[in-house]
Structure 1
Amino acid sequence: MPSFYPPDYVHLKMGGTNESQMQLMAMQDGTPTETSSPRSSSPMSADAPSATTATADDTLSPLPRIMYKDGGNGKSTIRWWYNRTKMERALLLFILFLLSLLAFTLLALACSQGQSDKVAKTCASDSSGTTVGNTDAPVANMPPTEHEEICTTEGCVQAANNLIMAMNNSVDPCENFYEYACGKWNRNHPIPDDMFAFGTFAFVREHMRQQMRVLLESEVVSKSRAVQMVKDSYKICMNVTELRKKKTKPLQKGFEDIGYWPMLHPDKWAKEKFNMTELLAQTRRQYGNEVFFQIYVYADAKNTKQNRLYIDQGVLGLGRGSRDYYLNSTMFSNHLQAYKKYIRQVVEIFMDDGNFTRDSEELLADELAIIEFEKKLATIIVPEDDRRNNTRMYNKHRVADLKEMIPQVEWLSFFRGIMPKSMETFVDENTEIIVNEVEYLKNVSQLIASTDERILANYVIWRLVQSSIKLFDDRFDDIKQDLVRVMTGQETKSARWKGCIQSTVSYLPLAAGSIYIEEHFHKNDKQEALLMIDNLRAAFIELVKDSNWMNEETKTVAIEKARNIINHIGYPDFIQVDAKLDDYYKNLHVTANDTYFELFMKVLIWTQEKEFFRLREPFDKNEFDVSPAVVNAFYSPEKNAITFPAGILQPPFFSGSFPKAVNYGSIGAVIGHEITHGFDDQGSQFDKDGNLENWWNNDSLAGFQERKKCIIDQYSQYKVPGTDFKINGKLTQGENIADNGGVKEAYRAYRKYIVKRGSEEPKLPGLQHLSNDQVFFLSYAHFWCGHKKDAAAVQQVLTDEHSPEIFRVIGVLSNLKEFSKAYNCPKNSRLNPEQRCVVW
């Protein structure tokens, strides 16, 4: 992910865009979702199916709820049990009976082959490493021996069940390990109608939403004011009756202040009164709306001890990275037609609410003008795959210099117009600001100069309206769903409660996270994760030492950077103390009597003030700035920090009761992935202190570039299933490098654990034919089980920095000789090629 993006949690706005382009809601209503991450960070996954629109009386999603056991405490388990229907309870008891029967049978079978005097949990052990063929697939199998040790603890049975229920044993793992590991999972988990993709990530996210729903709908009044604000915010969002009563009036009242919307008020809008500076400043300050450029505050990339103002290019109406939808109007004509229809339908609702009428032909002309203008804007947007050179994007100027780039804006007036009152004089013409895209600003200035003012006003206010849709009633849901269906293939709108969970976590991330960890997170898991991080860090350092393409000086610097990586695990400690959490939110006052629009405005003002106040403070590299109630992981180059929220530290990705082969193969690979982000094509541009600085010897850098090109070329050859597109290897290189390095580090760390243990771990029940090394790689692949609609696959190729799930498995494992050895893959089989790409 580009380093020069402001944190979404800081830069809350109606028109804010989500880093995950798999979230169409980022395009539609700008609501940060639970895949939102600091824009300076690289997230592990962008798999986040939309779940933000529906009516309040929609029923629960009919998703299975028990495949992965909740790692919560007794209180949450009891509450969860009583929230199940009688049928669900009966099914749960039946499944538990079957699992118990399976465990007993496996135990009896194993012990019948071993010695009878062993305890019930394990049988006698043997260290034989003999491998033979398998009738199902040509893998290196470990035959049961007379003294083979089998783990039948609850954690082992659960982990084995997760893997077995996903596998397709009829497939040759050396030719298609993804289908081997995930074939049954994908068949048994069809994509729900209210989603456009579904995988293990989405499954856990849905489970977390269910958990959060129970917590937020509880009638227990919290002693913490911050926690109570979270619960009130959710209930306000769910109050559809009030939304239907208010309609679009809250926003329509504000149109007069910004000079009216020509599409809606052709008789009231006056060209001679149009003022670009005032329009952009007012819509940014009052509604968080940004169109032609984005303003944010973050660490100065060349001096990360302090914060700095940044200005970056704008984002199109169809989302970040969506320029191809506009530029290839032949291929994506249906998408643009759906977008145009959406504009018309939104305007018609606003007209009905305001008792306005417009000539149909004139209205059509306005709609077409917006689309044509946005097409022109798309031509000057810098593609995301050209935004990976952070030095090119670091251009320090004075505020006065911006006048030369976009003379249509009175910049000093603009900045003072968007700042909190106490900081209105903080910015002057000599204030330093970092410009990410100088040429873009000059080009957008030319576009503005050549465009009629009426079109400019229509476009800016359309983007404001578009991003505010979520704040209004359910009339917008159906028309929005038509656009969603075309863009992603999602068939139906999602239950409103899902969107309200999502919005609440986004608006109040730490307060919402405190509710989650209180009920669903074990402190012991945090310590276990920290231990794994230390082991993965040591494994990465070994890879650096073993590299034959880096000189000793560069190796030393790389090792020092790895040792300086900051760990943010689970949650920030202060959110467990009510007084400290309340103090964090002391200037935000949400009440149960607020309307949803008022709620948003309060959070927006509070968030914007917090953002600009950072200009008076040093950059805090130790700030835990992601909600714990998030299923993802992140790396920040400016902080040189990795973040693992509590939400990802749960089954099937991680559990203290799982065998280490499973934990290292899944969450261990994630930890390695985030560590490696510090040394991918972008992270490698920052030093141990997070400063943008070249620390590479010339020969070492040349070796890195050569290996990076190998990764780019490799992934560029993969054709994405369901599309006519190949992966953009240039766009996805950072994530691909991180994937490859992460698994390799995790495997090394696991084998070092085994050496320290002194013997192999017991086998998993039902998987005795697989070695623990094979289980490790199987666990990694299981992490990425999932599938998506064809339209969503196209969207991912065009907009997402992550490769499709199948290639996060096939691409990585084909580069690992350790995998080929573990599965005894023949030479020149798909996953044991003659040539491999290895960076770390």
Structure 2
Amino acid sequence: MPQQNDIPLASSSGSPCFNAPARDEAPAVIFIPGKKFQGTFRWWKSRTTMEKLLIPTMLLFCLLTAVLLAVIINTDKRIEAIKADHATQTEKSLGEPTEKSPVAPAAPPLVPDSEAPPTTTIPPIPTSSEKPKEPEVCSTPGCVRAATHFLNAMNTSVNPCEDFFEFACGQWNDQHPIPDDMFAFGTFAYAREQVRQQLRVLLEQEVVTESESINMARATYRSCMNKTQLDELKTGPLIETLTELGEWPLLHESWKKTTFNLTNLLVNSRRDYGVDVFFQLYIYADSKNTSRNTLFIDQSTLALGRGTRDYYLNTTLFSSHMTAYRKYLRNIAQILKADGNLTRNDADMNADIEKIIDFEIELAKIIVAEDERRNNTRLYNKRAIRDLYSLLPQVDWVPFFQSIAPTDLTHLFHNDTEIIICEIEYLRQISELLEKTDVGLLTNYVLWRVVQSNVRYLDERFEDIKQDFLKVMTGQQQSPPRWKDCAQVPSTVLPLAAGAIYVQAHFQESDKYEALRMITHLSKSFTDLVRKNDWMDEETKKVAIEKANSMINNIGYPDVTNDIPMLDKQYVGLHISEHDTYYYIMKKSVVWMQSREFQKLTKPFDKHEFDISPAVVNAFYSPEKNAITFPAGILQPPFFSGTFPKAVNYGAIGAVIGHEITHGFDDQGSQYDKDGNLHNWWSESSLQAFDKRRRCIVEQYGNYTVPKTSFRVNGKLTQGENIADNGGVKEAFQAYQNYVQENGEEPRLPGLQQYSNEQIFFVSYAHFWCGKKKEAAAMQQVLTDEHSPEVFRVIGVLSNMEAFADVYKCPKNSPVNPDYKCIVW
């Protein structure tokens, strides 16, 4: 999700400039989740949940029966002995105590809550008042549901101090293979699939509501699902697009260089199809004055996506990926050629495709790596449009902006119009690359990016081509059913309308208030951590606490989703009918969304705007808004429920809330003040102390090697997310302890009563990240994603928490309790 922070949750910058600093080489630490002792437990792991509950119960019953018989027999013997003593009138009053057969105690839990004192003899039979008090067990539906999640996930044959990810998730990962239509699967993906299925049912309802925008959401879904119409249209809409843009030289022998005009080509690609090439254009809050919106220009992305430059530059390691990319491009071109009855020679087409790839490799060389873009001050370069003429003179900038903006706003764009340039040196270098590149190749590349963006709206042949490509890039084995993609489309085109449908059917108001209460407690935990730390001076602490207390909370959904007239007002100017083709709907939507974005230049920046669909399973932080957002989609089991015990909620969604709060104080969020302005509010000594702790996190995670690959986690790219993970869990645990202190200990989970609620808290946190990825997808994540692999989001965090080691009684220097810990917050 661009411009916002999510938890697999999303990047920390809300700014259009994606930021990040280069990795230092360090010795690799290979961490491979273990499956220790599993040979002995294969039979047990294959049992059903019911069997696992009944078998120990039966064994315990048999053991208790045997003990009771032994006690009865032993008591009878003692009575007989007493009678014998009296009969013989010996001097002893009771005689020597009878030797009792020791009874084997029940096996303790893997990690007991307390150490029992060693005993060498069996004590006398206790009276009822001496019986040890059993922990109270919760039997509510919420407790049973939460316990079921964990009982079906945990691999208790593994020592939690050795590998907590396997301990909490081993059974879940074993029993949930990655579906063929996905490249990864985990509890997070499970929740997303659940929401997607719920949306599908709601969007397929044959109803007409009083809300025009909700009707348009359903029309969009039905149009996407209309395969018959897609098969009839074939590539006609895209061929029409290419004709509008002046033909694709790749397909046409007769393309004339004299028709080339770079400014016009970029205008038409951006205005009509939302495709940015050679640079990206955004409208967002001025980072140093967030009361207003302004223009941003940033470096380009590549066709394979943001952060994919290594695929182009490391030809040895990624040769198969680039071969798949060539094939993908070639197959799309061949279908367009055949459908258009064109006669371009295949050899010439293939030669042009090679030139496109070679050009993009040159483009990759000048793109700044994402881990070098985390200093937001470096990326803030205020200039005027006139300055763009000297940086990238191949574009006629004033006409460019006037042409892509709505006609009623053209007066806003002139030489003196303010603009913020994220990467000045990049613009100089792309200018040099454009200058030495043949105009036919430039046209081929621009139109390839337009084609690539629009083939997703065409018939099933293109899905097959895409699937062949994804099989290499991510390991996904087959295309998902069409409804999965179509159910997400309304959330992109009409996010609040799609969210309104979802919220009305699946979100409870009480859950919203429970989440708000948790945010209050988590915010207090963060301020407590700030007050107690010994590395910030008092003035900087005061400012940090003020920022935390100023955060805007967006929970569940915006009020507009319950107000039909206001909801429909959000989509004034967008007209979608049942008769529109899918391709035309998406084109109209892009044009409408761009017009709406430009209108923001005439308005103040709205820090309270809830601009995420409530049906999204994710969470976000925006530094410019100083706002955290939790859509309704993530406030659901197994992560959250108003019926769950607090230990479960705080361990899962509580850690997510803490994660988003901490994003305001990670390496990027810490550059912004309470009003969202890019402003250094740190004292020099506190900033140096923060930087030392930040570098510890970078080094720690940079030493993790992803299982089944030779790749190490990019500690610099992932540092913001790792800082947020570490702070979030610590804050959530403290908030839970505060809750217990105020309200008393909760009953324990049924079937898991041998584990304390504090232990369950950490199981709940780890359970959030259960899952696995295909090897290709794991590699892709390391290269492109600012989030660490899930196993390290668990192991990395817990190995830095003294509280975790205390709760699980982990020996010093055990794998999840190293002597040296990295602590920022």
Same fold (TM over 0.5): yes
Q: CA offset at residue 586 of structure 1?
A: 2.1
In 2: Cα distance, 1:655 partner to 1:524 partner: 10
SS at match of 1:424: helix
CA contact (8 A) 1:142 1:768 kept: no
In 1: Cα distance, 2:364 partner to 2:709 partner: 23
Q: 1:164 to 1:41 in 2, by over 3 A?
A: farther
Where do 1:82-93 residues align within 5 Å?
A: none
The one-letter amino acid paired with 1:251 is: L
Q: CA offset at residue 146 of structure 1?
A: 3.1
Q: Percent identity?
A: 56
SS at match of 2:705: coil
1:243 aligns with 2:230: yes
SS at match of 2:704: coil
CA contact (8 A) 1:134 1:141 kept: no
Deviations 1:32-69 (A, max 9, x none): xx9899954999xxxxxxxxxxxxxxxxxxxxxxxxxx
Among 579, 586, 590, the alignment partner of 2:572 is: 586
CA contact (8 A) 1:166 1:184 kept: yes
Q: CA RMSD in A?
A: 2.5
CA contact (8 A) 2:511 2:641 kept: yes
Where do 1:281-430 residues align within 5 Å?
A: 281-430=267-416
Q: CA offset at residue 428 of structure 1?
A: 0.9
Among 691, 694, 697, the alignment partner of 1:711 is: 697
Q: 1:567 to 1:100 in 2, by over 3 A?
A: farther
Report what 2:601 is aligned to: 615
In 2: Cα distance, 1:442 partner to 1:494 partner: 42
CA contact (8 A) 1:399 1:411 kept: yes
CA contact (8 A) 1:312 1:436 kept: yes
1:176 aligns with 2:152: no
The one-letter amino acid paired with 2:295 is: L
Among 770, 782, 793, the alignment partner of 1:785 is: 770
In 2: Cα distance, 1:739 partner to 1:342 partner: 37
- Number of aligned positions between the proteins: 740
Q: 1:134 to 1:704 in 2, by over 3 A?
A: farther
Among 803, 815, 820, the alignment partner of 1:818 is: 803
1:515 aligns with 2:501: yes
CA contact (8 A) 1:727 1:797 kept: yes
Report what 1:763 is aligned to: 748
In 1: Cα distance, 2:7 partner to 2:534 partner: 38
SS at match of 1:425: helix
1:186 aligns with 2:152: no
In 2: Cα distance, 1:142 partner to 1:248 partner: 72
Deviations 1:79-102 (A, max 9, x none): xxxxxxxxxxxxxxxx99x69998
TM-score (norm 2): 0.87
Report what 1:74 is aligned to: none
Among 621, 626, 637, the alignment partner of 1:635 is: 621
TM-score (norm 1): 0.85
The one-letter amino acid paired with 2:213 is: A
Report what 2:188 is aligned to: 201
In 2: Cα distance, 1:839 partner to 1:150 partner: 37
SS at match of 1:567: strand
In 2: Cα distance, 1:99 partner to 1:427 partner: 71
In 2: Cα distance, 1:549 partner to 1:40 partner: 29
Report what 1:576 is aligned to: 562
CA contact (8 A) 2:144 2:750 kept: yes
In 1: Cα distance, 2:665 partner to 2:523 partner: 12
SS at match of 1:297: strand
The one-letter amino acid paired with 1:741 is: G
Among 263, 269, 294, the alignment partner of 2:250 is: 263
Q: 1:283 to 1:20 in 2, by over 3 A?
A: farther
In 2: Cα distance, 1:270 partner to 1:474 partner: 33
Q: CA offset at residue 259 of structure 1?
A: 1.9
In 2: Cα distance, 1:329 partner to 1:533 partner: 47
Where do 1:455-604 residues align within 5 Å?
A: 455-604=441-590
Q: CA offset at residue 254 of structure 1?
A: 2.7
SS at match of 2:628: strand
Deviations 1:316-360 (A, max 9, x none): 011100000000011100000010011110001101111002212
Report what 1:837 is aligned to: 822
Q: 1:210 to 1:37 in 2, by over 3 A?
A: farther
1:228 aligns with 2:210: no
In 1: Cα distance, 2:334 partner to 2:492 partner: 30
CA contact (8 A) 1:638 1:686 kept: yes
Report what 1:727 is aligned to: 713
Q: CA offset at residue 140 of structure 1?
A: 4.1
Q: 1:36 to 1:607 in 2, by over 3 A?
A: farther
In 1: Cα distance, 2:559 partner to 2:708 partner: 45
Deviations 1:473-504 (A, max 9, x none): 00111111111000000000010000101122
The one-letter amino acid paired with 2:594 is: Q
In 2: Cα distance, 1:617 partner to 1:146 partner: 65
Q: 1:333 to 1:829 in 2, by over 3 A?
A: same
SS at match of 1:294: strand
CA contact (8 A) 2:13 2:669 kept: no
Among 766, 786, 790, the alignment partner of 1:801 is: 786
In 1: Cα distance, 2:220 partner to 2:716 partner: 41
Where structure 1 has 5 or more consecutive residues not aligned to the other structure, the ranges are 8-18, 23-33, 44-94, 114-131
In 2: Cα distance, 1:634 partner to 1:658 partner: 23
The one-letter amino acid paired with 1:183 is: G
CA contact (8 A) 1:21 1:320 kept: no
In 2: Cα distance, 1:610 partner to 1:196 partner: 35
Q: 1:41 to 1:439 in 2, by over 3 A?
A: closer
CA contact (8 A) 2:626 2:664 kept: yes
CA contact (8 A) 2:153 2:170 kept: yes
Among 251, 260, 263, the alignment partner of 1:277 is: 263
In 1: Cα distance, 2:692 partner to 2:338 partner: 60
Report what 1:119 is aligned to: none
Q: 1:39 to 1:561 in 2, by over 3 A?
A: closer
In 2: Cα distance, 1:824 partner to 1:42 partner: 45
CA contact (8 A) 1:281 1:414 kept: yes
In 1: Cα distance, 2:383 partner to 2:437 partner: 27
In 1: Cα distance, 2:201 partner to 2:278 partner: 41
The one-letter amino acid paired with 1:782 is: H
In 1: Cα distance, 2:619 partner to 2:210 partner: 31
The one-letter amino acid paired with 1:259 is: G
The one-letter amino acid paired with 2:811 is: P
CA contact (8 A) 2:717 2:786 kept: yes
Q: 1:136 to 1:348 in 2, by over 3 A?
A: farther
CA contact (8 A) 1:640 1:678 kept: yes
Deviations 1:793-816 (A, max 9, x none): 000000000000000000000000
Q: 1:133 to 1:509 in 2, by over 3 A?
A: farther
Q: CA offset at residue 577 of structure 1?
A: 1.4
CA contact (8 A) 1:140 1:770 kept: yes
CA contact (8 A) 2:6 2:621 kept: no
Q: CA offset at residue 266 of structure 1?
A: 2.4
SS at match of 2:228: helix
Deviations 1:563-589 (A, max 9, x none): 000000000011111111112112111
In 1: Cα distance, 2:803 partner to 2:725 partner: 15
In 1: Cα distance, 2:55 partner to 2:115 partner: 20
Query: Which is higher, the Rg of structure 1 or of structure 2?
Result: 2
Report what 2:240 is aligned to: 253
In 2: Cα distance, 1:702 partner to 1:563 partner: 24
SS at match of 2:578: coil
